[in-house]
Amino acid sequence: SIIHRIVPDFIIQMGDITVGDGTGGESIYGPTFVDENFELSHKAAGYVSMANHGADTNGSQFFILLNKARWLDGKHVVFGKVIKGMDVVRTIGETPTDSRTAVPKKTVKIIDCGIVGIEKKYELTEAQAESNEDL
């Protein structure tokens, strides 16, 4: 996925699968889908959340937090957390960008990622949930 927006110390954004520049995107359900829930908080770096332009407008775009941003709670659905590779996320977050648009000055693309082999469901401890580091 092409990273089309980097806001230093805040987020890296990607997932525009149709245009690649942040103006597009589409879900498997059609253009958009509704907010599922707001059970998880933007309480630390590494949380992965849906990008949207208002309530119930989720598509394919998402972002990874570079720092906690609890003011996003109730507005963006958190659906994951980076548990390995935060050093890479931070390095991407330091990429020079256009100061007006937050567009990276060079192409940044994630070409390989996935779910770390988890054999059984588990819940994060409060310390893990608030950690800014790999778990």
User: Catalytic residue numbers?
Assistant: 5, 10, 13, 52, 63, 72, 76
Q: What is the token pair recorded at 121?
A: 């469901």
CA dist 40 and 85 (Å) reads 21
- 124's tokens: 């994060």
Rounded CA-CA distance 95/12 in Å is 10
CA atoms lying within 13 Å on the CB side of residue 78: 22
* Burial per residue of 100-127, b for 16 or more beta-carbon CB atoms within 10 angstroms, e otherwise: eebebeeebeeeeeeeeeeeeeeeeeee
